[in-house]
């Protein structure tokens, strides 16, 4: 498959329905029950891609895909992936593949500079900070929590050498927003520590006073607060925890502040969105998933050995993707990409606002619009069901303050203004049908 074919196939793919029309278990009956004894030809395998795989694929890169959040996809990233596969090294130590370790360190510094992270998040030539690519944001959060756990245990044992690790762990408590991603709660489960959710304000944002209150209660109850995971750009509504308030509290209370900016982080490369990251100077670690690089990344400081910056020991040569993407887009190209998506979301927002039957459910800051029909949750549930059953576009819902809300996330690289307008006219049409039915 060469570049020309990639392009051609990419265009074909746009013609697929965005959301597949299959039932659970559809695939098993389409292929043999066992691996073949004799080798098959490449042609046979390729034929089956169309027959077996494509009917069951949700097309994340269709311009009609508005569900979840965007995932990475770009021509340079795919080329880099091929090179990564061809080199096929496992960079679990410097010697196992020096270029793999070194390019990653430098690329994470490039990224840190693009985001204007504080100096101590960079490796530089003799820095103590730096970044490392993680498989997913879930792993980044887990690693941050484990690092914080290890740090607090050492700190306590310095003063109380007879206190056992398991005894200390049994008193630890970690915190996150009540809007935080489920992976944060899971990090607590894996690490075997208590995890509490801090209530958010009317903008779905954790404020300093809310954290302070819980900290005081927990200290009074003999617990040891040690970790706060702030979210910049929550999954339901892209809300931002107030880290300029939360950071000083965490620093004063010796609580590790981790910032999970999985979705929103990419936008901080644009000067107009960088203020959303103000407060980073109070953080101990930070992670986000760069758009268009496919890999998910995390930048962390204060950890001692690079070897312990991730769960798996083996690692692929993933920084090649960043190198290819950064160079073949350039910072300006990446900024333009972000701005286009935010612009499309703003366009969708104004279409919704112009329709009196609908309401906007949360501030539109980046590429996500949370909206709903004015009225009951049931009404909105039916609308969403009809939208997804029609298979023309694909959305997923969220709950905001007890309300069932539709999420419109600008995802694909190929999404243009005409797709957004088409999507809105489709939603609006289905809403009209639904409301008319209900009137009868």
CB of 13 to a copy of itself, least distance (A): 8
90 in Cβ contact with 65 (< 8 Å) = no
- Residue from 6, 51, 217, 416 that binds a copy of itself (CB under 8 A)? 6
Considering only 180-188, 252-260, 338-346, 347-355, which stretch makes contact with a copy of itself by CB under 8 A?
A: 180-188
CB of 383 to a copy of itself, least distance (A): 18
Which residues ranging from 311 to 370 are in contact with a copy of itself (CB under 8 A)?
Answer: 311-314, 320, 323-324, 326-333
Q: Which residue number, 73 or 242, has a Cβ lying nearer to a copy of itself? A: 73
Which residues ranging from 85 to 124 are in contact with a copy of itself (CB under 8 A)?
Answer: 85-90, 94-100, 102-103, 105-106, 109-111, 113-114
CB of 66 to a copy of itself, least distance (A): 14
CB of 438 to a copy of itself, least distance (A): 27
218 in Cβ contact with 225 (< 8 Å) = yes
**Phi, psi of 172, deg, nearest 5:** -70, 150
Q: Does position 12 bind a copy of itself by CB under 8 A?
A: no
57 in Cβ contact with 17 (< 8 Å) = no
334 in Cβ contact with 271 (< 8 Å) = no
Q: Does position 60 bind a copy of itself by CB under 8 A?
A: yes
CB of 378 to a copy of itself, least distance (A): 21
Binding mask 248-287 for a copy of itself (x = CB under 8 A): ----------------------------------------
Instruction: Report residue 130 as tokens.
Output: 């730096």
Q: Does position 222 bind a copy of itself by CB under 8 A?
A: no
14 class by beta-carbon count within 10 Å (0-12 exposed, 13-18 middle, 19+ buried): middle
Q: Does position 16 bind a copy of itself by CB under 8 A?
A: no
Nearest to 178, CA basis, from 205, 197, 195, 204 = 197
Nearest to 403, CA basis, from 370, 371, 369, 377 = 377
- Residue from 108, 129, 132, 138 that binds a copy of itself (CB under 8 A)? 138
Q: Does position 9 bind a copy of itself by CB under 8 A?
A: yes
Instruction: Report residue 249 as tokens.
Output: 């509290």
CB of 149 to a copy of itself, least distance (A): 8
Give the separation between CA 259 and CA 246, rounded to whole angstroms: 11
- Residue from 18, 63, 64, 77 that binds a copy of itself (CB under 8 A)? 77
Site size for a copy of itself (CB under 8 A): 109
Q: Does position 221 bind a copy of itself by CB under 8 A?
A: no
97 Cβ neighbours under 8 A, 6+ residues apart: 87, 89, 90, 91, 317
CA dihedral (348, 361, 63, 342) in degrees, to 10, reads: 60
Give the separation between CA 188 and CA 193, rounded to whole angstroms: 5
């Amino acid at each position: 498959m060469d570049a020309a074919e990639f392009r051609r196939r990419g265009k074909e793919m746009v013609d697929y329905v965005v959301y597949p029309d299959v039932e659970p278990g559809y695939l098993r009956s389409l292929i043999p029950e066992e691996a073949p004894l004799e080798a098959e030809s490449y042609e046979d395998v390729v034929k089956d891609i169309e027959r077996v795989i494509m009917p069951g694929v949700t097309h994340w890169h269709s311009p009609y895909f508005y569900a979840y959040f965007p995932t990475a996809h770009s021509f340079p990233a795919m080329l880099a992936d091929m090179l990564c596969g061809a080199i096929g090294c496992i960079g679990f130590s410097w010697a196992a593949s020096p270029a793999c370790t070194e390019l990653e360190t430098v690329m994470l510094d490039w990224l840190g500079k693009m985001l204007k992270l504080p100096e101590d998040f960079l490796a530089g030539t003799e820095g103590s900070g730096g970044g490392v690519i993680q498989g997913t944001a879930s792993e980044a959060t887990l690693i941050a929590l484990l690092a914080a756990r290890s740090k607090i245990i050492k700190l306590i044992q310095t003063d109380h050498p007879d206190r056992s690790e398991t005894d200390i762990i049994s008193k630890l408590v970690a915190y996150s927003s009540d809007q935080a991603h489920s992976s944060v709660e899971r990090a607590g489960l894996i690490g075997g520590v208590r995890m509490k959710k801090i209530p958010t304000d009317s903008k779905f944002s954790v404020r300093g006073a809310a954290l302070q209150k819980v900290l005081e209660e927990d200290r009074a109850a003999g617990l040891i607060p040690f970790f706060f995971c702030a979210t910049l750009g929550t999954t339901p509504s892209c809300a931002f925890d107030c880290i300029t308030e939360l950071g000083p509290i965490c620093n004063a209370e010796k609580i590790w502040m981790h910032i999970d900016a999985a979705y929103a982080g990419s936008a901080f490369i644009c000067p107009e969105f960088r203020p959303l990251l103000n407060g980073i100077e109070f953080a101990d670690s930070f992670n986000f998933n760069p758009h268009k690089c496919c890999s998910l990344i995390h930048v962390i400081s204060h950890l001692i050995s690079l070897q312990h910056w991730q769960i798996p020991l083996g690692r692929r040569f993933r920084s090649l993707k960043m190198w290819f993407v950064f160079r073949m887009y350039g910072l300006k190209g990446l900024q333009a990409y972000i701005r286009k998506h935010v612009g499309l979301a703003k366009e969708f927002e104004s279409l919704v606002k112009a329709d009196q039957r609908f309401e906007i459910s949360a501030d539109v800051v980046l590429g996500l619009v949370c909206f709903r029909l004015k009225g009951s949750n049931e009404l909105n549930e039916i609308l969403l069901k009809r939208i997804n059953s029609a298979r023309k576009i694909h959305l997923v819902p969220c709950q905001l303050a007890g309300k069932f809300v539709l999420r419109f996330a600008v995802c694909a690289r190929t999404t243009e203004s005409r797709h957004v307008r088409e999507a809105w006219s489709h939603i609006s049409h289905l809403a009209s049908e639904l409301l008319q039915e209900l009137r009868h």
